[in-house]
Amino acid sequence: MNTTLDAFAVTPKAVDISGPCGLIEARYTGAKAGAPLSKAALMAVVCHPHPLHGGTMTNKVVTTLSRAYRDLGVPVATFNFRGVGRSAGTFDEAVGEVDDLLAVATWMRERFAQRRLLLAGFSFGSSIAAQACYRVAAPAHLTLVAPAIDRYPYDREGRFPVPVCVIQGGRDELVDAAGVHAWSAGLAGTVDLLRFDEASHFFHGALVTMKAELARVLLERLGGS
């Protein structure tokens, strides 16, 4: 479906995207006009947590990430992985889900051809974003929230091809926070670690602060784009 999008229409719009398994259910949100990165020629795609554990594109962390991009002036798409909501297909162990993300990224690029891509994901979705950053053309930034580094693929040889922001809660009941801290410190290249030592896996009570801190990092890394 070749939908025409307004880069500055901030009301979320339901869209259907053609994916490798069929329909991908997605939501597009335009950017706030006049926001700090509105002239930086950027666009973003955000990935949700594990499909078999209730993860969908309406997850609160995913929504927070999407709003962070929107409020900075970056149009953003969120979507349901295969088998979630109206998206066709079945769960594919973090393999086919990368292809889903690439289809959404292509859909965005067809509409905003001159914009560079920002990728983000929460928990399981952070692995999908991490894997995809090696397969998309000229990505600009990668945000990983609560990365499950002991369960899914992330970096290649200790490095990502883009600046990375890792966001981790200190009281995460599903991800080893200390392990994520150590992994982040060992990555080569530009890596920002945002630690929320009192936050759980789902960042209850910390989402507003997370949004503000991520915005600060994105402005620092991309404000000169």
| Entry pTM | 0.96
Q: State the angle between helix axes of 96-111 and 124-132 in degrees (0 to 180), rounded to the nearest 10.
A: 60
The torsion angles phi and psi of 164, rounded to 5 degrees, stand at: -125, 140
Vertex 115 angle, CA 109 and 118, to 5° = 85
Q: How far apart are CA 79 and CA 20, in angstroms?
A: 14
- Name the DSSP class of 51: G
Distance CA 54, CA 165 (A): 25
**Nearest CA-CA partner of 46 in 19, 27, 33:** 27
The pLDDT score that the predictor gives to residue 3 is: 63
The DSSP symbol for 205 reads T
Write down the pLDDT at residue 225.
53
pLDDT at 59: 98
Residues of the chain with confidence (pLDDT) below 70: 1-4, 224-225
Local structure of 221: helix, strand or coil: helix
> What tokens appear for 101 in the block?
């993300």
CATH topology (fold) of 13-222:
Rossmann fold (3.40.50)
| pLDDT the model gives residue 52 | 97
Integer Cα distance of 215 and 225 in angstroms: 15
pLDDT score, position 5: 79
pLDDT value of position 10: 83
